[in-house]
Amino acid sequence: MSLSRSIGFLVCQTYLFLTGELVHAQPDAFCDAGLRSPANDHYGYRSRGDRCEGRYFQNDDGTSLTLMSFTRSSSTNYAVSEDAFTVHWEPFHLGDLRIRAASLREDVHYRMDTTSAENTTSFSWPADIVNQVGLSPGDVGVVAWTSHKVGQSVQELYLPVAVTLAQSHASSSLSTQSRGAGLDLLVMPGTELKELYVSIYRLKSDGSPARTVRNEKALQLGYYPSRRGIHVEVQFSELSEPGIYFVQLSAEPKRGSQKSLPIYFFFPG
C-alpha cells in the first residue's frame, strides 16, 4: 500500500471512530456482528437478502495464521450467470454449510458470509460489490465449513470447494486456476515467517489418527512475508480414501513464538 493511500485510510478510519459513524453488521443469521462499517457506505458490510456482504474496518492482533481459502481443482465447466461468483461442492450430508468469501489484500477488507442448506451443492452471488471495492477475482478467497463432532468434541469441519466466475460470458476458475489435481489451502500469516511445517492425518471415527499423510514436513519456500498468502497443496494421490482428515500447520515466525493452525476437513473423494 502506498504511503498516501495508507495515510488517507487511517485518517478516514480515525474520523469515523471519533464521530461515531460506524455501525455493526445488522442482526442476521448470516452476518458477523463483530464487523463494523460506515453507516453511509453503500458498499459496507450488511445484510443483502441471502447473504451479508461488503467492506468493513478490521482490527486484529497482526500475528495470527488464518485459513483464507480451501479449494479443489475441477475440470468441469459449470454454467454460471454473467458477473457472478458461484461456489460448488460435492454432495455433503453432515449439516448446513457456512460459506465465507474474503479479501486477500491487506488494503481492502471485504467479506461475504452466508449459509447453505445441507441438500444443496452450490451458491451464487453477484460480483458487483467485489468489483466496486476494487478487488479482482484473484483477490478473493473462499472457505466452506460446518460444525461436526470429531471424536469427543465439535469442530469446524471444512469442505473443499470449486469457485467459478462468469464475466462477459467467459468462465474462469478462482484460486485453483493453473493448479494440479488436488486440494489447495491458502493461509495468511500476520507476521513474517521463517518456515511453515505441515502435518496431515487421516482420522478414525473416534478422532484418532488412522494414517499419517505428512509429518512435520517443511514447505521450504524460502520467503514468507507478512500478509501474503501461502499455498499448501495436497495431491489427491495422497488422500487414499474419503473421510475426515486433520491438518496441523506449525508456523515458525521470524520473531516471536510459534503459531499453529489446526484444520479438520472432509474429503468426499
Within a domain: 115: yes
For residue 13, name the pLDDT band (cuts at 50, 70, 90): very low
Within a domain: 21: no
Within a domain: 23: no
Comparing 101 with 19, the larger pLDDT belongs to: 101
- Rounded Cα–Cα distance for residues 257 and 44 (Å): 35
- Asked which of 92-101, 115-124, 167-176, 251-260 is least confident by mean pLDDT, the reply is 167-176
Residue 117 has pLDDT above 60, yes or no: yes
Residue 226 has pLDDT above 60, yes or no: yes
Q: How many domains does the chain have?
A: 1
Within a domain: 22: no
User: What is the structure's pLDDT at 16?
Assistant: 41
User: What is the structure's pLDDT at 83?
Assistant: 84
When pLDDT is averaged across residues 204-230 and rounded to a whole number, the result is 95
What pTM value is reported for the model? 0.83
Residue 8 has pLDDT above 50, yes or no: no
- Asked which of 39-53, 82-96, 116-130 is least confident by mean pLDDT, the reply is 82-96
Within a domain: 49: no
Residue 81 has pLDDT above 70, yes or no: no
Residue 5 has pLDDT above 80, yes or no: no
User: What is the structure's pLDDT at 76?
Assistant: 38
Within a domain: 147: yes
Residue 163 has pLDDT above 80, yes or no: yes
Within a domain: 143: yes
The tens digit of pLDDT for each residue in 17-76 reads 344 454 555 556 789 988 988 888 999 999 999 999 999 987 665 668 999 999 986 533
Mean of all residue pLDDT scores within the chain = 83
Comparing 53 with 165, the larger pLDDT belongs to: 53
Domain that holds residue 225: 60-267
Within a domain: 8: no
User: What is the structure's pLDDT at 240?
Assistant: 83
- Rounded Cα–Cα distance for residues 89 and 71 (Å): 9
